[in-house]
Amino acid sequence: MFDVIMRKFKGSPSQQAVIRLLLTRGFSVNDTGRVVSGAIEIPHTQIAGELGIDRRVVDSTTNTILQDVELKPIFQNISSIPSLRDLAPVLKLSVLTVEVNDATNPGIVSIVTSLIAKQGISIRQTISEDPEFTDDPKLYIITDEQLPGELVNELISLDFVKKIGIE
């Protein structure tokens, strides 16, 4: 679906940048064309400033979204999910980062979380980046405790794993 969305803005790299920002931040577009997070409006000048573009590009992008029968329901129903990843050091949680060879293969999350669960380790949050939204998607698993070395070795030996990181 990401490719379909981006094709609608193929003539404008600046509008594509706005679309990427909306999707990665979980920002919606309300009925008046304002960018929102929940009920909080995000000024188009702020978005434009972050992207280094003119505010009118944000205006035209949101107008296009509202006029498109495919885009409108998508961008009016996006929501963000709070992540424990950046809070992990403060909360004394552990973050496992898994990079894989092909993130479109089914079962990756299931296999990794099953191996962790077999060790009796509680998973607080799992974040799987969408391979359509990023060039190098990662799987983040936040746990209550550090993973034992033998489990890390077992994870590294999985065929689909390219790289493991632990924080």
Partners of 138 in beta bridges: 99
Beta strand 35-37 with 40-42 is antiparallel
Quote the pLDDT of residue 104. Answer: 86
pTM of structure: 0.78
For tokens 């496992």, name the residue. Answer: 96
Residue type, 128: S
Q: Which helix (H) or strand (E) holds 50?
A: helix 44-51
Give the domain ranges of the chain: 7-75, 88-166
Token couple for 37 = 């997070």
73 φ/ψ angles, rounded to the nearest 5 degrees:
-65, -30
* β-sheet bridge partners, residue 36: 28, 41
- Per-residue tens of pLDDT for the chain, all 167 residues: 788 899 999 999 999 999 999 998 999 999 999 999 999 999 999 999 999 999 999 999 999 999 999 999 999 999 888 899 999 999 999 999 999 999 989 999 999 999 999 999 999 999 998 887 777 899 999 999 999 999 999 999 999 999 999 99
* Cα–Cα dist 29/19, whole Å: 11
Q: What sign for the dihedral angle of Cα 81, 86, 92, 93? A: positive
What is the CATH topology of the domain spanning 88-166?
Alpha-Beta Plaits (3.30.70)
- Give residue 46's pLDDT: 98
pLDDT of residue 24: 86
pLDDT of residue 130: 83
DSSP per residue, 8-29: TTTT-HHHHHHHHHHHHHT-EE
Q: Are 126 and 139 in contact (CB under 8 A)?
A: yes
Contact in structure between 62 and 34 (CB atoms under 8 Å): yes
- At residue 1, the pLDDT reads 75
